[in-house]
Amino acid sequence: MASSHLSISLLAPEEAGIYVAIRHETFRPTINKLLYSREPSESTLNDVTEHYRKDITEGNAIHLKVTDNKTGETIACARWRYVLSKVEGNERANGAAAIALGSNADSEAVNAIKKPRERTWEEVDAGLTTPPPYAESDPRIWNALFEMLNSNKREILQTRPYYVLDTCVTHPAHHRRGAGGMLVQWGCDQADANGVECYLEASPMGAPLYKRYGFRRVKEIELDVREFGGEIFSFSLMVRPAKEIL
């Protein structure tokens, strides 16, 4: 159960550095070993921060933070996205506009907000990209990681719309306070409101948390990078089923 002293809110663009710092410390013993072949430079971290600042400002993701209200410290962050079809996106925009204008005439546009639509395969493939590696990355490991994650996401979710939890990180000094659960629950509530499923790629450490919020393992995958001087990394691919909108 989350502490009563914690609150959840949107992350502001000027707080991108906080997000990157918590993400880096959380991932240091695990995923960072795949993202970086050596400790990233200050220049690289500044570039990552700028990337997420633009993502918060211009992207389609929702960045959240959990704050300790006693200290004012941000202790956890998450990045959620609603992956939907272009048709549904337009219908939702039209429905929202009709509601804002108080129009009763375009009831279909208003109701469309609650109707998830299948994506086209072209939309699916356009969304499964591999970002450019960092200066400290090993391109072979980087490309193998994203190719593995993208191919499995395509296989599991196919053309269905879904909410994806790209990142959920709690600063190591603040584990077991319920912050991570607050961030997970927020996205689950959004998915339920839209009648779609949730998806994520969990580490062995993170999987038990997600299971408590209704996620189930659908596949276990491994990336073996021992030939590059690394180790075997395991991921649980997890789905939370959609709830029907009444």
Predicted local distance difference test score (pLDDT) of residue 4: 75
In this prediction, residue 89 carries a pLDDT of: 72
Q: What is residue 174's DSSP assignment? A: G
Q: Would you call 179 helix, strand, or coil by DSSP?
A: helix
For the chain, the structural domain boundaries read 6-240
Number of helices (H), then strands (E), belonging to the chain: the values are: 9, 7
* The predicted structure's pLDDT at residue 194: 94
Percent composition of the chain: helix, strand, coil (DSSP 3-state, to 5):
45, 25, 30
C-beta separation of 4 from 70 below 8 A: no
| Strands ordered across the beta sheet of 6-10 | 6-10, 61-68, 73-83, 162-170, 197-202, 232-240, 216-224
Identify which of 59, 71, 70, 82 has the alpha carbon closest to the alpha carbon of residue 11.
Answer: 59
Query: What DSSP character marks residue 9?
Result: E
How high is the mean pLDDT in each 10-residue block of the chain (246 residues)? 84 97 94 95 97 95 97 97 87 51 51 76 97 96 98 98 97 94 97 96 95 97 96 97 81
Q: What is the pLDDT of residue 57?
A: 96
Q: Is the pTM of this model over 0.95?
A: no
Q: Which CATH number fits domain 6-240: 3.40.50.720, 3.10.20.30, 3.10.20.600, 3.40.630.30?
A: 3.40.630.30
